[in-house]
Chain A
Amino acid sequence: MPADLPQTCDVAIVGGGPAGLAAACELRAAGIARVVVLEREACAGGIPRHSGHSPYGMREFRRILRGPAYAARLVAVAQAAGAGIFTGVAVTAVYPGGRLDLTTPDGPAELTASRVLLCTGVREKTRAALLIGGTKPGGVLSTAALQGMVYLNKQRPFLRPVILGTELVAFSALLTCRHAGIRPVAMIEAGPRAVARWPAALLPRMLGIPLWTGTTLRAIHGAVRVTGVTLQGPDGATRQIAADGVIVTGAFLPEASLLRASHLEVDGASGGPVIDSFGRCSDPVYFAAGNLLRAVETAGRCWAEGRRAGQAIALDLAGRLPAPSGALCLTLHHPALKYAVPQRIVPGGAHGSVDLRVTRAVKGRLSLRIAGAEVWSQRLSALPERRLSVPLAAFASYPGATDTAELVLEEDTQ
């Protein structure tokens, strides 16, 4: 095992992506002595490591960087700040009291930390989870797998793939294809329009690649390699087209397997941990930040969340963080409201806002009720996967005599 991997530390950060590295910097800046980042991959930096295109780094470094350069810079800054970054070290279990089971190339190890920050990120949904039919040939990849092959290995897994999905990451996949000289046959979207915002959605047209909305991928064909796919169009008719690969993009899920196997409370709606407005989990030794909280935000937002979590942990270690008791428990009152994070609001919380998402396009009025009384409201016109937020200031009128707050959506009648 890495010779200098300690057995105890002040803060252990699980996951060395943008959130984890930002937190490490903040903690060191706040004077916390022993900050350890545990990264299971061979290099820290997270997903931007293999996302070889712009724009990264505006929020963090005030300049536009490609993913790998951005990741390298995050690592360099955290190292310069004095954080101990250990790569090739995976956390296999977390226990009460900040005790972690680790595995390293040299075998198992244990680490006990005064505080633990979980930043394990997200992954894309698989063809299995999407219940796509057909055979299981080679050449069906997630965006992350494609980007790793293209940017890290200089490999070209296919030449004429179909891209499934139109979230922002699908356009990242499109740029990766362009970089590698891969020409996608089409982009497929089940919904009525591209999920990602303008101007990303203009990209396929600029590159001359058709974007087929209202279309689902029913089946993948081929024995050894993909030879084609069956699509179902808006009229219900199916057609087969030739393709030599499928990129299954987006539909992100928090990488919460460590969390789900632990004693920590999980939010079924977000798929991440239940946290309070300081990023604190149900066991107050544990904090969480970044895309583990929910799917999915940009690297820059995760970085900012990591900073806030680092600040909160530093305060906590100094005995200056408000106690988790007495937090408002936030509940959602409409099936189109997908999730809201944080789920618990402690007065004076470090998070600037409650982030929420909707499951489908909705128009109406969103309101916040505490103890039955409306304290905040806003007109809402929202699409899936677009960021929505309720400012924490809206909770300021918290009367202290209740423990629940409700987010209520009243949809416009057509």
Chain B
Amino acid sequence: MPLTDANSATFDAAIIGGGVIGCAIARRFTLQGARVVLLEKAQDVLDGASKGNSAILHTGFDAPPGSLEAACLRTGYAEYVDIHARLNLPMLRSGAMVLAWTEDEETALPALMDQARQNGVDYVELLSGAQIRALEPGIADTVRAGFRVPREYLIDPWSTPHAYLRQALENGAALRCSAEVSGGVFDGRFWRLQTTQGGVSAALVINAAGLFGDVVDDRLIARRDFHIRPRKGQFIVYDKTAAGLTGHILLPVPSKTTKGIVVCRTVYGNLLVGPTAEDQEDRETADLVPEALVSLRQRGAEILPALAGHEVTATYAGLRPATEFKDYQIRAHTTQNYIAVGGIRSTGLSAALGVAQHVHGLAVGLGLPYNALAQPVWPHMPALTDEGLRDWRCPGNGGIVCHCELVTRREIEAALCGPMPAYSLAGLKRRTRVTMGRCQGFYCSAELAAITEGRLVQPMSGAADAG
């Protein structure tokens, strides 16, 4: 039985943090029958670590065997494959290749393949340089060897968490944005949280605060089991004409600290190169650095020589919430009805559904039983990739506003309304891809500024005339 009735402001679970992990947990708990509130300190969800990643659905072949990360990747992967079509989410079955460019890297391949098999990824196959180039003729002829991981796929980094959250919301969950948790107490039965949007009561608190996970732990349970060490990743994105240069996700041989620089296409039909791995103190700002962008462009052209002639369409930088530990830091504090979900560093998008299952299991272990919804609602996400039926192909779309990404007026209107409307251009971009193409708003910014006038908390036309 749920602990609370539907009309009360008291929730079964308060989830702190609207990143991919928080959204997936909100979905899982809602589907299990819990009354959930998701608290996000920013104006919009996906504003922290989930803002910038490489959009790969990892099998977990290179995760440390026996780790929690490997387990969550396995279950998260399986659930995504199972549910993506019902949510109308894309999944591009590209496959990956791990490429060795030096003798040392080549020597490391057998151990990596063994590790993959230990992680249940037993369909890897060793390839010679010639075999690699037969599969992907665009790869430089300096490649020595590698192996193929056929079930590494590409997914949508933003529609995916949006879909998780939307399914939670459409099945009764609540979302509070601009709600930073400043403190709280547990009275033995309920948590009373103070937020910048008022008080919230909940039987269980789940800390999925990502880059601020240790800060929130400190505020609520007065301890820090881990320390966040933000790791910056810069990316460059090439225009759609470059996407034909490789069908596979091209991975390097990973080092101890990072998976290294990936070259892959995206579900939207671009090609990306990144990320860098740079430790920093700042948890909020991920600065792009010209020299790093130049070196990414060079690295991209070393792997795919034809890239040298292609145009860089976009650049971005994200922060992963690394800690002093290699594995995820997920802990139930039994006496306090509190679960900390931290240190989900670079595999969060792939593992999110698995993390959510794991956290739900921990909650059950705390003696918090829920009755799963018998007939949950399954939202149908807008198709943003060519895998689905794009709106511009459908009648009554109001015309195309963003010509590079073929975004229609109807899609923009839809993203400005509904249970999780866009508050900013950044939010509108994540929901529709508007202005994210090759012209970066050269053609459509003015029209978009007219459409969104008075409807964004952060107006495109600026605050210059607001006073």
Contact = CB atoms under 8 A, between A and B. Distances in A.
Given A128-B440, A219-B287, A152 B403 contact: no
Contact of A127 (B240, B400, B440, B458): B440
Contacts of A223: 284-285
A149 B290 contact: no
Interface in A146-173: 147-149, 152-153, 155-159
B447 interface: yes
A90 B440 contact: no
B445 A141 contact: yes
B309 interface: yes
A124 B313 contact: no
B446 A255 contact: no
Given A131-B293, A132-B288, A134-B288, A40 B440 contact: no
Interface in B256-292: 284-290
A245 interface: yes
Contacts of A144: 442-443, 445-446
A158 B464 contact: yes
B226 interface: no
A88 interface: yes
Contacts of B461: 149, 153, 155-157
B84 interface: no
B432 to A, nearest CB: 16
Given A148-B445, A153-B461, A260-B241, A108 B393 contact: yes
A50 interface: yes
A157 to B, nearest CB: 4
B316 A136 contact: yes
A267 B231 CA distance: 41
Given A108-B393, A131-B290, A135-B285, A158 B453 contact: no
B460 A135 contact: no
A156 B459 CA distance: 11
Given A156-B461, A223-B285, A225-B463, A268 B309 contact: yes
B464 A156 contact: yes
Contacts of B239: 257
A405 interface: no
Contacts of B241: 257, 260-261
A120 to B, nearest CB: 10
Nearest to A226: B462
B441 A142 contact: yes
A282 interface: no
Nearest to B312: A129
Interface residues of B, number: 56
A349 to B, nearest CB: 28
Interface string B220-245: 00000000000000001101110000
Interface stretch (A99-107, A185-193, A395-403): A99-107
B438 interface: yes
B286 to A, nearest CB: 8
B372 to A, nearest CB: 41
A124 B316 CA distance: 19
Contacts of A155: 449-450, 453, 461-462, 465
B332 interface: no
A6 B458 CA distance: 43
A47 B272 CA distance: 31
B172 interface: no
Contacts of B314: 126, 128
Choose among A41, A105, A124, A255 the residue with the greatest number of B CB atoms under 10 Å from its CB: A105
Contact of B393 (A103, A126, A127): A103
Given A149-B449, A153-B450, A156-B461, A219 B288 contact: yes
B399 A255 contact: no
Nearest to A157: B462
B350 to A, nearest CB: 25
A86 B399 CA distance: 13
A273 B393 CA distance: 28
B161 to A, nearest CB: 20
A153 B311 contact: no
A34 interface: no
Nearest to A125: B311
Contact of B443 (A123, A134, A260): A123
B188 interface: no
B462 A139 contact: yes
Contacts of B464: 156-159, 244
Given A133-B293, A148-B446, A253 B399 contact: no
Choose among B297, B443, B447 the residue with the greatest number of A CB atoms under 10 Å from its CB: B443
A373 interface: no
B107 to A, nearest CB: 35
Contacts of B339: none
B399 A88 contact: yes
Contacts of B285: 135, 223
Contact of B446 (A108, A153, A257): A153
A156 B392 CA distance: 31
B198 interface: no
B442 A142 contact: yes
Contacts of A384: none
Contact of B462 (A103, A158, A255, A257): A158
Contact of A153 (B237, B288, B294, B453): B453
A244 B294 contact: no
A364 B275 CA distance: 45
B403 A40 contact: yes
B395 A225 contact: no
A129 B400 CA distance: 24
Given A153-B446, A257-B239, A106 B395 contact: yes
B418 interface: no
A159 B461 CA distance: 11
B362 interface: no
A29 B236 CA distance: 49
A253 B404 CA distance: 14
Contacts of A126: 313-314, 439-440, 442
B397 A107 contact: yes
Contacts of B290: 131-133, 218-219
Contacts of A147: 446
B446 A106 contact: no
B396 A92 contact: no
A145 interface: yes
Interface in B414-467: 424-425, 438-443, 445-447, 449-450, 453, 458, 460-465
11 contacts: A128-B440, A131-B294, A134-B288, A144-B446, A152-B450, A155-B461, A155-B465, A158-B464, A219-B290, A223-B285, A224-B424
Interface of A: 40-42, 50, 88, 90, 92, 103-108, 123-124, 126-129, 131-136, 138-139, 141-142, 144-145, 147-149, 152-153, 155-159, 218-219, 223-225, 244-245, 253, 255, 257, 260-261, 268
Given A148-B445, A156-B462, 18 more contacts: A105-B399, A106-B395, A123-B442, A123-B443, A129-B312, A131-B297, A131-B312, A132-B288, A132-B290, A135-B287, A136-B288, A138-B425, A142-B442, A145-B446, A153-B461, A155-B453, A253-B311, A261-B241
Q: Which 5 A-B pairs have the closest CB atoms?
A: A148-B446, A145-B445, A155-B461, A126-B440, A105-B399
